[in-house]
Chains A and B, each alone.
Chain A
Amino acid sequence: MKKEIIGSTFWLLFSCYFVVESYRLGLNMAHRPGPGFFPFIATVGIGLIAAWRLIAHLRKGSPDDSAGASTRGELGLVACVIAGIIAYAVLLDTLGFFVCTFLLVTFYLKVIAARRWLVSLSFAATVALAGHLFFDTLLKAELPRGLLSWLL
Chain B
Amino acid sequence: MDTLQLLSQGILSAALPLNLLYGFIGVLLGTLVGVLPGLGPAGAIALLLPLALHAPPLAYLIMLFGITYGAQYGGSTTSILVNIPGEASSVITCLDGYAMARQGRAGPALGIAAFGSFIGGTLAIFGVAYLAPALAELGLHFGPPEYAGLMLFGLSALVYLAHGSMDKAVLMALFGVLLASVGLDPVSGQPRFTFGILVLRDGVGLTPVVIGLFGVSEVLLNLRAQAGEVFQKTVKDLLPTRQDWKDSAMPIARGTVLGFLVGAIPGLNVVIATFAAYALEKRLSRHPEKFGRGAIEGVAAPETANNSASCSGWIPLLSLGLPTGSVTSLIFGALLIHGLAPGPLFIKNSPEIFWGVLGSMVIGNVLLLILNLPLIGLWIKVLQVPYFFLFPLILLFGIIGAYTTSGTTDDIIIMTIFGLVGYLMKKFAYEPAPLVLGLVIGPLLETAIRRSLIMSKGSAAIFFQRPIAACFVGAALLMLLSPLFTRRRLGHEIIEKLEET
Q: B457: nearest residue on chain A (CB-CB)?
A: A31
A118 CB, nearest partner CB in chain B, Å: 15
Complex Cα distance, B178 from A42, in Å, reads: 6
Is B412 within 8 A of A88, CB to CB? yes
Interface string of B104-133 (1 = CB under 8 A from A): 000000000000000000000000000000
**Within 8 Å CB of B223, what residues of A?**
74, 77-78, 81, 112
Is B192 within 8 A of A92, CB to CB? no
Q: A30: nearest residue on chain B (CB-CB)?
A: B458
Complex Cα distance, B308 from A115, in Å, reads: 44
Is B178 within 8 A of A82, CB to CB? no
> Quick check: is A46 within 8 A (CB to CB) of the other chain?
yes
Is B446 within 8 A of A38, CB to CB? yes
Is B409 within 8 A of A89, CB to CB? yes
* B:425-467 near A, CB below 8 Å: 427-430, 446, 449-450, 453-454, 457-460
Complex Cα distance, B219 from A108, in Å, reads: 12
B353 CB, nearest partner CB in chain A, Å: 22
Is B171 within 8 A of A74, CB to CB? no
**Within 8 Å CB of B399, what residues of A?**
85, 88-89
Q: A93: nearest residue on chain B (CB-CB)?
A: B409
Is A86 within 8 A of B192, CB to CB? no
Q: Is the interface of A mostly helix, strand, loop or mixed?
A: helix
Is B458 within 8 A of A127, CB to CB? no
Complex Cα distance, B427 from A34, in Å, reads: 36
Is B188 within 8 A of A35, CB to CB? yes
**Within 8 Å CB of A70, what residues of B?**
427
Is A86 within 8 A of B413, CB to CB? yes
Q: B389: nearest residue on chain A (CB-CB)?
A: A123
Residue from the list A30, A35, A140 in contact with B460, Cβ < 8 A: A30
Residue from the list A29, A42, A92, A139 in contact with B177, Cβ < 8 A: A42
* B:205-241 near A, CB below 8 Å: 216, 219-220, 223-224
Is B457 within 8 A of A92, CB to CB? no
Interface string of A5-37 (1 = CB under 8 A from B): 011000100000010010001100111111111
**Within 8 Å CB of B187, what residues of A?**
35
**With contact pairs A50-B171, A85-B416 given, residues A34 and B188 touching in the complex (Cβ less than 8 Å):** yes
Q: Chain B interface residue count: which class?
A: 35 or more
Is A45 within 8 A of B181, CB to CB? no
Is B178 within 8 A of A18, CB to CB? yes
**Within 8 Å CB of B181, what residues of A?**
38-39, 42
**Within 8 Å CB of A69, what residues of B?**
427
Residue from the list A37, A85, A90, A115 in contact with B395, Cβ < 8 A: A85
**Within 8 Å CB of A68, what residues of B?**
427, 429
Complex Cα distance, B216 from A88, in Å, reads: 14
**Within 8 Å CB of A33, what residues of B?**
449-450, 453-454
Among B174, B192, B449, the one with the most A-chain Cβ atoms within 10 Å of its Cβ is B174
Residue from the list A36, A53, A113, A135 in contact with B388, Cβ < 8 A: A113
> Quick check: is B400 within 8 A (CB to CB) of the other chain?
yes
**With contact pairs A30-B458, A139-B54 given, residues A78 and B423 touching in the complex (Cβ less than 8 Å):** yes
Would you mind naming 18 contact pairs between A and B with Cβ atoms under 8 Å apart?
Answer: A30-B460, A31-B458, A33-B453, A35-B185, A38-B177, A39-B193, A43-B178, A45-B171, A45-B174, A50-B171, A52-B167, A53-B167, A53-B168, A78-B423, A85-B419, A86-B413, A88-B399, A93-B409
Given contacts A42-B181, A85-B395, A127-B392, 19 further A-B contacts (CB under 8 A): A21-B193, A25-B185, A32-B453, A32-B458, A45-B171, A49-B168, A70-B427, A78-B220, A82-B420, A85-B216, A89-B409, A89-B412, A89-B413, A92-B409, A104-B392, A105-B392, A108-B391, A141-B404, A142-B404
The 7 A-B pairs at the shortest CB distance, nearest first, are namely: A31-B458, A113-B388, A35-B185, A89-B412, A30-B458, A89-B409, A39-B181
Interface residues of B (CB under 8 A from A): 51, 54, 167-168, 170-171, 174-175, 177-178, 181, 185, 187-188, 190, 192-193, 216, 219-220, 223-224, 388-389, 391-393, 395-396, 399-400, 403-404, 407, 409, 412-413, 415-416, 419-420, 423, 427-430, 446, 449-450, 453-454, 457-460
